[in-house]
Amino acid sequence: MLVIGVLAGLATAAVAYFIPWLPDQGAKEAVQIDNVYWVATIICIVIFGIVAGVTIYSVFKFRARPDDEEDGAPIHGHTGLEIFWTAVPTALVTAISVYSGVVLVGNEKVQKNHGVVEVTAQQFAWSFTYPDEGITTGELVVPIGRQVELKMTSKDVIHSFWVPEWRLKQDVVPGVTTRLLVTPNKLGTYDVICTELCGLGHAAMRARARVVEPAEYAKWVQDVKAARAQGGTAQGKELFTSAGCGGCHTLADAGTSGQVGPSLDQALKGKDAAFVRQSIVDPNAVIAQGYQPNVMPQDFGSTLSKAQIDGLVEYLLKATGGGG
Amino acid sequence: MMAIEAYEHHGAGAAGHHAPPRRPTGLRRFTAAGWLRVAWVTPLSFGLATAIVEGARAGLGTPTSWHNQNTFQTLLVAWYVMVPLGFLIALGAFDYWFYWISGRPTRPEDHSSHGARSWKDYFRVNTDHKVIGIQYVCTTFFFAMISGLLALFMRAELARPGMQFVDNNQFNGFFSVHASVMIFLFIVPVFAGLGNFVIPLMIGAPDMAFPRLNALSFWLLPIGGLIMLSSYLIPGGAFSAGWTNYVPLAVVQPDGNLAFQMGVQWAGASSIVTALNFLVTIITMRAPGMTFWRMPLLVWANFATSTLVVLATPFIAGSQFFIMFDRVLHTNFFNPGNGGYAIGYQHIFWFYSHPAVYIMILPGFGIISEVIAVHARKPIFGYRLMALSLMGILILGFSVWAHHMFVSGMQPWLRIPMMATTLLIAVPTGIKVFSWLATLWEGRIHFRTPMLWAVGFISMFVLGGLSGIYLGSVPIDQHASDTYYIVAHIHYVLFGGSVFTIFAGIYHWFPKMTGRMYNERLGKLHFWTTLIAFNVTFFPMHWLGLQGMPRRVSDYAPRFADWNMVISIASFALGASTLIFLYNMIVSWRSGEPAPSNPWRALTIEWLVSSPPPVFNFDEIPQVVGSPYEYGVKGARHAVMGGERADVQEPHKVGSH
């Protein structure tokens, strides 16, 4: 019996060990969370090993022939055993509770000098405001190694912010400011995924999170500001990526490959400025064949300044070879 | 009372009382309870509802614009209230009460609505708990097939990344209707159906305590289901905010969302009424000698479940009424723009919907206890602790709801206490699992189909329970919440858990319900194909979720393509395995071998009567003389019929204090 229990446990452990269950760790908090995960996994493997072992053993050992009219042994219970399998699980789950609580409290300790980013979600786009820098972009850029506090709210329905590599998730709720504390510790570009059903475009509601060296972060802030100041196509190109357009639309010039909305290389080919502008501020006016209305946010006309929209239109015309 | 009187009548051998009622003739057929009356009263109530709304609007100077969402909703609510009421009245669900209220002679003694002589008797208001049980099971499987089909549509779309067959609106409708119908029209009520058939027989009662209420509670159910499915006919498509129907999304959705809100009311009313009936039946109608400590565990389980239903279900009814008011009356319960609190909805919703998880599994625990004891030929190990752990789950079940909201933005302090209670609930659940294993130990296990499902259930449910430990831990939940890991978890507990117990129960009591044996080879084939297809479908979802695939999406990153293809293929095999079950049930019911009264040599009372049982269950009152699980104890009996009472000594004093 023990042998089968151990074998079942080992088989499960092998599955647990050799399959990469969790994505890369991209934040200090992720390391702690993964430790809880593996502690829970060890406990669960032992328990499942026992259950599967006893079941398999019983199935073979105590099987009756169809014509067997005998009954089993009239065992009604065993107080010692019953106390044992009440007490041990109680101790185990209490241990998991305590450990989880300690990790949670540790992960949510606010560091001095932490950065702040204000996150705004709407159907179906993210935007990120950096109050210290005075800029707003469509991608989240944070310097490595510094704790950042995301202060999040929604303009319409409930969304949820998740970066799998950070292991952290927090709903973004209208009328409420929710918080998420993260200390990214690995350079790279990650997906920001909306995980709370928010309507038609839910599956497509993505943004990018970039973790960069502090020097690169400072340069990025300068570049964004410079592009804004410069106006025209430079600002337009910067906006195209930062406002999240590329998350849904393919545009060769900007190097984006989103599939949710129509490819702008085709949809805007040969169109004039008025059409491009209308498509940004009133996206339901003309819907490309094969696509649905109400997926693209309809308030770019109010969230972007007139100069920004001008820049975007100018850039899109240039990038798609249109004119007029 | 009526049931008791009926019982004594029957005991006196007054068979003539149960002759079919005289059929009304001529125009009378249109005014007598039945489908002819339904045919004209239902359209009439539709017209009446429309007239009331339009009349009131005309009076206020705001006639309905059919294209204006705001005004069309009012009509929908009126229809969803009045058309079902008209249907129930016409079918005769309230006839007795109307007669009584208006002082006309009631017909309490002719039992004209009791029992089934032909298939037609299953399509009318029938007060026989055995007929109602079968009505429930067949209706719930009808809805399960429809909603299973919706799941297959989803898997077809998800087989490859990108959009192939449907658009986002249809896709979101598929998973919303799939989950709602599976939960409210299949898993919750199918247990009410099995319980309806088995519980009165098991406790030695002639029927449920309130047979007419029982009939009403059944007919409320298909109304809830048809309302939910009717959302496909409403402009804008089916409701598509998930079965959780979170606000504000639910408020800004097209009108189909009302079908969820109103469907839940009818299905919920059905649950509450049945649960009250079970409670009164179990408390007051047990056979002489059946103390609480001699009740079979299925009876304990239904007792605990019914308590949960009565206490919790009003909360979901309230939550959906609030949404309906926010939509139709423009109140601001959940509208953050006007002082409402969106997360407040989630608290009310989960205060029902977490206990609902136990509503969907406790009766299954009861079924598994019966099946394992009978087919392993052993007394249940630790009977009293098994019963107490059911009550423990019942109490703890009310203190864990916010674990669905760890990342919702609710009050942060609430997370750690809710984590502690959530993980603690593993203890009574663990007690049950270990006690089942100990019951198998040293048994003489007969692997007939019900036993295969029961043993399969243990491992599958433990997998679902263990993934629940991860989700109960706040830090892990921050990563795993709202991903495919959740989809895997709920299908392990609801399919590997609840549905496996439902199959175990149906195969176990099939001979009693139909009087015929099912086909054992097909039963085993059904089990093995389901077990394999189920695991291939749902196990990889754990990995997908942890790796970064969110739930409720019509499209996903290309790196998840291979596993999604595997899952889709397996899900179609899973669907096909259900066809084996349906074929087996239909063919065996028509032409299976006649079943003896006790094919499994079980001890509980339902096996002491013929298969199927007589209309009033017992010709004489059974006397309970011992524990229900005394397998292997020489000469032990659970119950004896009146005549042999004197000869039997109480062999084993389980319930002596």
CA B67/CA A170 separation, integer angstroms? 38
- The predicted model scores a pTM of 0.91
Q: Considering only CA atoms, give the Rg of chain B.
A: 25
Tabulate helix, strand, coil % of chain B (nearest 5).
Answer: 70, 0, 30
Q: Is A125 helix (H, G, I), strand (E, B) or coil?
A: strand
- Judge: A63–B409 Cβ closer than 8 Å, yes or no: no
Residue-wise pLDDT for B72-87, tens only, equals: 888 999 999 999 999 9
- Judge: A72–B458 Cβ closer than 8 Å, yes or no: no
Residue-wise pLDDT for B155-171, tens only, equals: 999 999 988 888 888 99
Q: What pLDDT score does B20 carry?
A: 52
CA A58/CA B203 separation, integer angstroms? 31
Q: Which amino acid does the sequence have at A161?
A: F
Q: A68: distance to nearest CA of chain B, Å? A: 8
Residue numbers in A near B455 (CB within 8 A): 55, 59
Q: How big is chain B, counted in residues? A: 657
Which of the two residues, B25 and B33, has the higher pLDDT score?
B33
Give burial (CB, 10 Å; 0-12/13-18/19+) of B21.
exposed
Which token pair is A107? 């992960």
With the CA atoms of B551, B553, B559 and B561 taken in that order, what torsion angle do they form, in degrees rounded to the nearest 10? 100
Residue-wise pLDDT for A194-241, tens only, equals: 999 998 889 888 888 999 999 999 999 998 888 888 777 888 887 887
Whether residue B620 has pLDDT greater than 50:
yes
Whether residue B641 has pLDDT greater than 80:
yes
Q: Model confidence at B97, in pLDDT bands (50, 70, 90)?
A: confident
Average pLDDT over residues B118-146: 93
Complex confidence, ipTM: 0.89
Q: A149: distance to nearest CA of chain B, Å? A: 15
Q: What pLDDT score does A288 carry?
A: 85
Residue numbers in B near A47 (CB within 8 A): 430, 462, 466
Q: What pLDDT score does B124 carry?
A: 87
Q: Is B170 on the interface with A (CB under 8 A)?
A: no
- Judge: B378–A74 Cβ closer than 8 Å, yes or no: yes
Residue B169, CA distances (Å) to A142, A197, B23, B166 in order: 35, 12, 49, 8
Average pLDDT over residues B238-243: 94
Q: Model confidence at B610, in pLDDT bands (50, 70, 90)?
A: very high
**Is A315:A237 a contact under the CB 8 Å cutoff?**
yes
Q: DSSP assignment, residue B328?
A: I
CA B609/CA B181 separation, integer angstroms? 35
**Is B422:B474 a contact under the CB 8 Å cutoff?**
no
Q: What pLDDT score does B119 carry?
A: 83
Q: Which amino acid does the sequence have at B210?
A: F
Q: Is A173 on the interface with B (CB under 8 A)?
A: yes
Q: What pLDDT score does A200 carry?
A: 86
Q: Are strands A140-143 and A168-172 parallel, antiparallel or unpaired?
A: unpaired
Q: Model confidence at B115, in pLDDT bands (50, 70, 90)?
A: confident
Q: Model confidence at B22, in pLDDT bands (50, 70, 90)?
A: low
**Is B6:B111 a contact under the CB 8 Å cutoff?**
yes
- Find how far residue B438's CA is from the centre of its chain: 29
Where does B255-376 have alpha helices with state H? 257-284, 297-324, 342-359, 362-376
Residue numbers in A near B630 (CB within 8 A): 74
- Find how far residue A264's CA is from the centre of its chain: 26
Average pLDDT over residues B355-365: 96
Looking at chain B, the whole-number percentage of residues with pLDDT higher than 90 is: 78
Q: What pLDDT score does B4 carry?
A: 40
Residue by residue, DSSP assigns A90-159 as: HHHHHHHHHHHHHHHHHHTPPPTT-EEEEEEEETTEEEEEETTTTEEESSEEEETTS-EEEEEEESSS-E
**Is B259:B230 a contact under the CB 8 Å cutoff?**
yes
Q: Is A191 on the interface with B (CB under 8 A)?
A: yes
Mind spelling out the 3-state secondary structure of B503-543? HHHHHHHHHHHHCECCCHHHHHHHHHHHHHHHHHHHHHHHH
**Tally of CA atoms within 13 A in the half-sphere of B206 that contains its CB:** 23
**Is B18:B6 a contact under the CB 8 Å cutoff?**
no
Average pLDDT over residues B436-459: 96
Q: Are strands A159-163 and A168-172 parallel, antiparallel or unpaired?
A: antiparallel
Q: What pLDDT score does B33 carry?
A: 85
Q: B115: distance to nearest CA of chain A, Å? A: 35
Average pLDDT over residues B144-158: 96
Interface test with A, best of B476, B492, B542, B549 (most A CBs within 10 A): B476
- Judge: B442–A62 Cβ closer than 8 Å, yes or no: yes
Helix H or strand E encompassing B335: none
Q: Is B431 on the interface with A (CB under 8 A)?
A: yes
Q: What pLDDT score does B392 carry?
A: 94
Q: DSSP assignment, residue A193?
A: E
Q: Is B624 helix (H, G, I), strand (E, B) or coil?
A: strand
Helix H or strand E encompassing A153: strand A148-154
Whether residue B62 has pLDDT greater than 90:
no
In 3D space, the residue among A166, A21, A169 whose CA is nearest the CA of residue B547 turns out to be A21
**Is B187:B502 a contact under the CB 8 Å cutoff?**
yes
| A69, A104, A197 member nearest B474 (Cβ) | A104
Whether residue B212 has pLDDT greater than 50:
yes
**Is B481:A195 a contact under the CB 8 Å cutoff?**
yes
Q: Is A287 on the interface with B (CB under 8 A)?
A: no
- Find how far residue A306's CA is from the centre of its chain: 32
Q: A10: distance to nearest CA of chain B, Å? A: 16
Q: Is A295 on the interface with B (CB under 8 A)?
A: yes
Average pLDDT over residues B19-48: 83
Residue-wise pLDDT for B223-238, tens only, equals: 999 999 999 999 888 9
Residue numbers in A near B384 (CB within 8 A): 77
Residues 279-338 of chain B with CB under 8 A from chain A are 336-337
Helix H or strand E encompassing A168: strand A168-172
Average pLDDT over residues B139-168: 94
Which of the two residues, B253 and B347, has the higher pLDDT score?
B347
- Judge: B631–A201 Cβ closer than 8 Å, yes or no: no
Residue numbers in A near B551 (CB within 8 A): 195
Q: Which amino acid does the sequence have at B161?
A: P
Q: What pLDDT score does A323 carry?
A: 53
In 3D space, the residue among A131, A193, A147, A202 whose CA is nearest the CA of residue A167 turns out to be A193
Residue-wise pLDDT for B410-437, tens only, equals: 999 999 999 999 999 999 999 999 999 9
Residue numbers in B near A43 (CB within 8 A): 469
Helix H or strand E encompassing A119: strand A115-122
Q: What pLDDT score does A231 carry?
A: 74
**Is B416:A101 a contact under the CB 8 Å cutoff?**
yes
Average pLDDT over residues B366-371: 97
CA A192/CA A140 separation, integer angstroms? 9
Q: What pLDDT score does B59 carry?
A: 87
Residue numbers in A near B167 (CB within 8 A): 292
| B434, B543, B551 member nearest A85 (Cβ) | B434
Residues 242-281 of chain A with CB under 8 A from chain B are 259-260
Q: Are strands B639-640 and A178-182 parallel, antiparallel or unpaired?
A: unpaired
- Judge: B440–A54 Cβ closer than 8 Å, yes or no: yes
Looking at chain B, the whole-number percentage of residues with pLDDT higher than 70 is: 92
For chain A, residues with pLDDT lower than 50 are: 324
Average pLDDT over residues B537-545: 96
Q: Are strands A148-154 and A115-122 parallel, antiparallel or unpaired?
A: parallel
Residue numbers in A near B478 (CB within 8 A): 33, 167-170
Mean pLDDT of all residues belonging to chain B: 90
Which of the two residues, B319 and A263, has the higher pLDDT score?
B319
CA B74/CA B329 separation, integer angstroms? 9
Q: Model confidence at B6, in pLDDT bands (50, 70, 90)?
A: very low
- Judge: A55–B434 Cβ closer than 8 Å, yes or no: no
